[in-house]
Structure 1
Amino acid sequence: MSDRIANAKLRGKVMTADEAAQFVNHGDKVGVSGFTGAGYPKVLPTAIAERAKEAHAKGEEYMIDLFTGASTAPECDGVLAEADALRFRTPYQSDPILRGKINDGTTYYADYHLSELGMYVSQGFFGNMDVAIVEVTRITEEGHLVPSSSVGNNVEYLDAADKIIIEVNEWQSENLEGMADIYRIEPLPNRQPIPITKPGDRIGTTYIDIDVDKVVAVVKTNNEDRNAPFKPLDETSKQIAGNFLDFLEAEVAAGRLAYDKYIMQSGVGNVPNAVMSGLLDSKFENIKAYTEVIQDGMVDLIDAGKMTMASATSFSLSPEYAEKMNAEADRYAKSIVLRPQQISNHPEVVRRLGLIATNGLIEADIYGNVNSTNVTGSRMMNGVGGSADFTRNGFISSFITPSQAKNGDISAIVPFVSHVDHTEQDVKVIITEYGYADLRGLAPRQRVEKIIAIAHPDYRPVLEEYYSRALEAAKKNKTLQTPHDLETALSFHQRFMTHGSMMPQD
C-alpha cells in the first residue's frame, strides 16, 4: 500500500476508520464520494454508524447530513440509515433501508438534479461543508488525489469542506490513473463556456488537487465496489430494445441521424443495458456516449469496436465486468473518460453534443408527462437522478419501460401521472414492448392515441374509456387543450391503493 500513498505528509495521517470517524460530529454536513455503487467510501460509513449507535444508546443525539454523487451501497447508505444516523440526504439514493427511513419521515430527503448539487454546495446554499470523505486509488507525491471508479461531486466536496478524510482503496486498479478528466467550473461571475465539442475531449487534469493541510485522516482499504449483476435479458427487454432500434432506424430514414453519428446517453438499469446489448447487432458504428455511467453493455460495445468513446462520471458494472475493468483499465482508458458530474451532466454540453437520451420511468400519462420518482404520488423510490439533465437538453429525449409491473397490477401508462418529474414539453418519445410513441410536433390531444397504443393491451380499453369521458367533459366546458376528468384522473392509483391493482374490479 505504501506506493499508493506517495505523499510523505499524508502517510503520517494514516489511521483506522474508527479513529478517523472521531472527526465526524453530530450535525455535520458530510460530502462523500460515490455514484451508482462505485467509488464510495467503504469503511468510514460503518465507523460513523457505530458512533451513532453508541451515542443513541447513551441517550445522546448523533445524526449527519449526507451528500453524495448519486446512490452508494449498503455499506454506506444502508449502514448509516439502519443506525438512524442520517438527518438529511441528497441528491439520489437507491438503498431499501434508507428508502424506508425517507418514507417514514426519519430522514429528510432533497431530490435534486445531479448536475446542480455540486454548484449548490459551491455557492453555499446548504451552509458550511464540514467533512469530505473521498475514496481514491492513489495519492501522488504532490498530494494530488487519483479518483477511483467514480468522480461524482468529489471536487466540490473537497474544495468546500473544512476537513478531508481520504480512503485509499487497494482493490481499485492503479491503472485507473489517467482515465479521469478533472475540470473546475469557475464561480460566478467568471464562468466560461465548457470547451467540450466531442465526447472524448479532455479539458482538465487526471487528478484532483487539494489543500493538503485540510486532510485529517487517511484510511487504507481493500474493498470491492457494490456491483450488482444485471438480470438476464427477458423477452420484454428484448422487445423494448428492438423497438428502440426501430426508432433509431426511423431517424436515419428521416435524415435526422446517420449510422456513424449516434451519440447516446443511457440511464441506469437492466432495460437500458438491454438496449445497449441490442446495438451490438445493429447497423450503427462509431457510437459515442456522453452519459452518467458506464454499464456492461457499453463495455461490450467498446470490445466489439462499435463504440469508440464513452464519457461518464462513474462505472455501474456487474461483478464480472468490474473485475474485467480492473484488470484492463489501461486499455479501456483509451476509450473512456470519467468527469465530475457537473460536467458529465451539464446542460450546455448536453445541448451542444446533440444526444439521444434514454431513461427509465415509473409511469407516463396519456399526454406525455413522466413520473420517475414517486409511487402513487408520494412514496419515494430513488430520485430523479440525472435524467432531467439529459431529458430537457438532449436532441431527442426518450423514455423506455415495460408496459406493466407487479404481474399486471400496475400500468406504466396512466390517465394522469401522480407526480410530475418530466413535463410533456420535455418528453419526445416513449417506448414499451408494444412499440414507440413519437410525440414530437404533436399537441396534447394528438398524443393520446399514440401513447395508449403502446400501453399493455389489458389497460388500453380502460385508458380509452377515461379519455372519452374526459373529452366529453372538456367539450361541455370548452377546455379541449388537455382534457381531464379531475374526479377520476387518479382512479388508477386509487384502485391500486384500495385493491392492490389498477385494473377495475368486477
Structure 2
Amino acid sequence: MSDRIANAKLRGKIMTADEAAEFVNHGDKVGISGFTGAGYPKVLPGAIAEKAKAAHAKGDEFMIDLFTGASTADDCDGTLAEADAIRFRTPYQSDPILRSKINDGTTYYADYHLSESGMYVSEGFFGQMNVAIVEAVRITEEGHIVPSSSIGNNVEYLDEAEKIIIEVNSWQSENLEGMADVYRVGKLPNRKPIPITDPGQRIGTTYIDIDVDKVVAVVETNHPDRNAPFKPVDDVSKKIAANFLDFLEGEVRAGRLSYDKYIMQSGVGNVPNAVMSGLLDSKFENIKAYTEVIQDGMVDLIDSGKMTVASATSFSLSPEYANKMNAEASKYAKTIILRPQQVSNHPEVVRRIGLIATNGMVECDIYGNVNSTNVMGSRMMNGVGGSADFTRNAHISSFITQSEAKGGDISAIVPFVSHVDHTEQDVKVIITEYGYADLRGLAPRQRARKIIELSHPDYRPILEDYYDRALHYAKENKVMQTPHLLEEALSFHQRFVSTGSMKK
C-alpha cells in the first residue's frame, strides 16, 4: 500500500477508520465519494455508524448531513441509516433502509438534479462543508488524488470541505489512472463555456488536485464496490429493446439519424441495460455515449467494437463486470472517460452534443407527464437523479418501462401521474413492450390515444373509458386542451391504496 501513497506528508497521516471517524462530529455536513455503488468510501461509514450508536446509547445526539454523488451501497448509506446517523441526505439514493428512514420521517431528503448538486455546495447553498471523505486509487507524489471507479461530486466536496479524509483502496486497479478527466466548471457568475463538442474530448487532468494541508487522515482499504448483478434479459425487456430499436430505425428513415451518428445516454437499471444489449445485433456502428453511468451492456458494446467512446461519471457494473474492468482497466481507458458529474450531466454540453436520452420511470400519464420518483405520489423510491438533466436538454428524450408492475396490480400508464418530475413539454417518446409513442409535434389530445395503446391490455379499456368520458366533459365545458375528470384523475392510485390493485 505504501506505493499507493506516494506523498510523504500524507503517508504520515495513515490511521484506522475508527481513528479517522473522530474527525466527524454531530451536525457535520459530510460530502463523500460514490455514485451508483461505485467509488464510495468502504470503511469510514461503518466507523461513523458505530460512533453514532455509541453516542445514542449514552443518550447523546449524533447525526450528520450526508452529501454524495448519487446512490452508494448497503455498507455506506444502509449502515449509516440503520444507525440513525443521517439527519439530511442529498441528492440521490437507492438503499432500502435509507428509503424507509426517509419515508418514515427519520431522515430529511432533498431530491436535486445531479448536475446542480455540486454547484449548490460550491455556492454555499447548504452552508459550510465540514468533511470530505473520498476514495482514491492512489495519492501522487504531489498529493493529488487519483479517483477510483466514480468521480461524482468529489471535486466540489474536496474544494469546499474544512477537513479531508482519503480512503486509498487497493482493490481498485491502479490502471484506472488515466481514465479520469477532471475539469472544474468554476463558480458563478460569467462561467466560461465547457469546451466539449464531442463525447471523446478530454479537457482536464487525470487527477484531482487538493489542499494537502486540509487532509486529516488517510485510511487504507481493500474492499470491492458493491454493485448488484443485472437480472437476465426476459421476454418483456427484449420486446422493449426491440421497440426502442424500431424507433431508432424510424429516425434513420426520416433522415434525422444515420447508423454511424448515434450518441446515446442511458439511465440505470435492468431495462436500459437490456436496450444496450439489443444494440449489439443492430445496424448501428460507431456508437458514442455521453451519459452518467457505464453499465454492463455498454461494456459489451465497447468489446464488440460497436461503441467507440463512452463518457460518464461512474461505473454501474455487475460484480462480474467490475472485476473485468479492474483486470482490463488499461484497455478500457482508451475508450472510457470519467468526468465530474457537473460536467457529465451539464445541460450545456448535453444540448450541444445532440444525444438521444433513454431513462426509466415509475409511471406516465395519458398526456406525457412522467413520474420518476414517488410511488403513489408520496412514497419516495430513489430520486430524480440525472434523468431530468438529460431529458430536458437532449435532442430526443425517451422513457422506457414495462407496462405494469407488482404482478399486474400497478399500471405504468395512468390518467394523471401522482407526482410530476418530467413535464409533457420535455418528454418526446414513451416505450413499453407494446410499442412506442412518438409525441413530438402532437397536442395533448393527439398524444392520449397513442400513449393508451402502450398500456397493458388489462388496463387499456379502463384508460379508454376514462379518456372518452373526460373528452365528453371537455366538449360540453369548452376545456378541450387537456381533458380531465378531476374527481377521477387519481382514481387508479386511490384504488390501489384502498384495494391493493389499480384494476377495477
Residue 137 of structure 2 is matched in structure 1 by 137
Residue 410 of structure 1 is matched in structure 2 by 410
Residue 102 of structure 1 is matched in structure 2 by 102
Residue 483 of structure 1: how far off its partner (Å): 0.5
Matches within 5 A, 1:264-413: 264-413=264-413
Aligned partner letter, 1:232:
P
Aligned partner letter, 2:431:
I
**Which deviations, in whole Å up to 9, do the C-alpha atoms of 1:3-25 show, x marking residues without a partner?**
10000000000000000000000
Residue 495 of structure 2 is matched in structure 1 by 495
Residue 473 of structure 1: how far off its partner (Å): 1.5
User: What is the CA–CA distance in structure 2 between the aligned matches of 1:227 and 1:423, rounded to whole Å?
Assistant: 31
Residue 37 of structure 1 is matched in structure 2 by 37
Residue 255 of structure 1 is matched in structure 2 by 255
Partner of 1:484: helix, strand, or coil?
coil
Aligned partner letter, 2:261:
K
User: What is the CA–CA distance in structure 2 between the aligned matches of 1:313 and 1:188, rounded to whole Å?
Assistant: 22
User: What is the CA–CA distance in structure 2 between the aligned matches of 1:432 and 1:155, rounded to whole Å?
Assistant: 38
Residue 189 of structure 1: how far off its partner (Å): 2.4
Residue 113 of structure 1: how far off its partner (Å): 0.2
Pair 1:450 & 2:450 matched: yes
**Which deviations, in whole Å up to 9, do the C-alpha atoms of 1:342-391 show, x marking residues without a partner?**
00000000000001000000000000000000000000000000000000
User: What is the CA–CA distance in structure 2 between the aligned matches of 1:16 and 1:353, rounded to whole Å?
Assistant: 45
Residue 46 of structure 1 is matched in structure 2 by 46
Partner of 1:431: helix, strand, or coil?
strand
User: What is the CA–CA distance in structure 1 between the aligned matches of 2:368 and 2:284, rounded to whole Å?
Assistant: 28
| Range with bigger deviation, 181-190 or 170-179 | 181-190
Partner of 1:311: helix, strand, or coil?
strand
**Which deviations, in whole Å up to 9, do the C-alpha atoms of 1:134-176 show, x marking residues without a partner?**
0000000000000000000000000000000000000000000
User: What is the CA–CA distance in structure 1 between the aligned matches of 2:210 and 2:227, rounded to whole Å?
Assistant: 29
User: What is the CA–CA distance in structure 2 between the aligned matches of 1:388 and 1:420, rounded to whole Å?
Assistant: 11
User: What is the CA–CA distance in structure 2 between the aligned matches of 1:206 and 1:263, rounded to whole Å?
Assistant: 24
Aligned partner letter, 2:136:
V
Task: Give the alignment's Cα RMSD to 1 decimal.
Answer: 0.4
Pair 1:193 & 2:207 matched: no
Residue 217 of structure 1 is matched in structure 2 by 217
User: What is the CA–CA distance in structure 1 between the aligned matches of 2:470 and 2:500, rounded to whole Å?
Assistant: 25
Residue 60 of structure 1 is matched in structure 2 by 60
User: What is the CA–CA distance in structure 2 between the aligned matches of 1:411 and 1:439, rounded to whole Å?
Assistant: 20
User: What is the CA–CA distance in structure 2 between the aligned matches of 1:169 and 1:229, rounded to whole Å?
Assistant: 22
Partner of 1:388: helix, strand, or coil?
helix
Residue 240 of structure 2 is matched in structure 1 by 240
User: What is the CA–CA distance in structure 2 between the aligned matches of 1:374 and 1:187, rounded to whole Å?
Assistant: 32
Residue ranges of structure 2 left out of the alignment (5+ in a row): none
Aligned partner letter, 1:361:
M
Partner of 2:233: helix, strand, or coil?
coil
Relative to the length of structure 2, the TM-score reads: 1.00
Identical-pair percentage? 84
User: What is the CA–CA distance in structure 2 between the aligned matches of 1:309 and 1:280, rounded to whole Å?
Assistant: 15
User: What is the CA–CA distance in structure 2 between the aligned matches of 1:241 and 1:136, rounded to whole Å?
Assistant: 36
Partner of 1:398: helix, strand, or coil?
strand
**Which deviations, in whole Å up to 9, do the C-alpha atoms of 1:254-308 show, x marking residues without a partner?**
0000000000000000000000000000000000000000000000000000000
Partner of 2:367: helix, strand, or coil?
coil
Residue 14 of structure 2 is matched in structure 1 by 14
Partner of 1:458: helix, strand, or coil?
coil
User: What is the CA–CA distance in structure 2 between the aligned matches of 1:121 and 1:187, rounded to whole Å?
Assistant: 11
Matches within 5 A, 1:105-124: 105-124=105-124
Aligned partner letter, 1:214:
K
User: What is the CA–CA distance in structure 2 between the aligned matches of 1:409 and 1:250, rounded to whole Å?
Assistant: 33
Relative to the length of structure 1, the TM-score reads: 0.99
Residue 182 of structure 1 is matched in structure 2 by 182
Residue 190 of structure 1: how far off its partner (Å): 4.0
User: What is the CA–CA distance in structure 1 between the aligned matches of 2:188 and 2:376, rounded to whole Å?
Assistant: 40
| Range with bigger deviation, 363-372 or 180-189 | 180-189
Residue 474 of structure 1: how far off its partner (Å): 1.2
Partner of 1:303: helix, strand, or coil?
helix
Residue 460 of structure 1 is matched in structure 2 by 460
Partner of 2:238: helix, strand, or coil?
helix
Aligned partner letter, 2:251:
E
- Flag as ranges the 4+ runs of structure 1 deviating above 3 A: none
Partner of 2:137: helix, strand, or coil?
strand
Aligned partner letter, 2:341:
Q
Partner of 1:445: helix, strand, or coil?
helix
Residue 98 of structure 1: how far off its partner (Å): 0.2
Pair 1:162 & 2:162 matched: yes
Partner of 1:275: helix, strand, or coil?
helix
Partner of 1:88: helix, strand, or coil?
strand
User: What is the CA–CA distance in structure 2 between the aligned matches of 1:188 and 1:233, rounded to whole Å?
Assistant: 45
User: What is the CA–CA distance in structure 1 between the aligned matches of 2:189 and 2:469, rounded to whole Å?
Assistant: 53
Matches within 5 A, 1:412-431: 412-431=412-431
User: What is the CA–CA distance in structure 2 between the aligned matches of 1:29 and 1:490, rounded to whole Å?
Assistant: 39
Partner of 1:19: helix, strand, or coil?
helix
Matches within 5 A, 1:461-480: 461-480=461-480
Residue 485 of structure 1 is matched in structure 2 by 485
Residue 476 of structure 1: how far off its partner (Å): 2.0
User: What is the CA–CA distance in structure 2 between the aligned matches of 1:345 and 1:15, rounded to whole Å?
Assistant: 35
User: What is the CA–CA distance in structure 2 between the aligned matches of 1:51 and 1:478, rounded to whole Å?
Assistant: 63
Partner of 1:220: helix, strand, or coil?
strand
Residue 475 of structure 1: how far off its partner (Å): 1.5
User: What is the CA–CA distance in structure 2 between the aligned matches of 1:351 and 1:154, rounded to whole Å?
Assistant: 24
User: What is the CA–CA distance in structure 1 between the aligned matches of 2:345 and 2:115, rounded to whole Å?
Assistant: 5
Alignment size in residue pairs: 504
Pair 1:227 & 2:220 matched: no
Partner of 2:231: helix, strand, or coil?
coil
User: What is the CA–CA distance in structure 1 between the aligned matches of 2:102 and 2:183, rounded to whole Å?
Assistant: 33
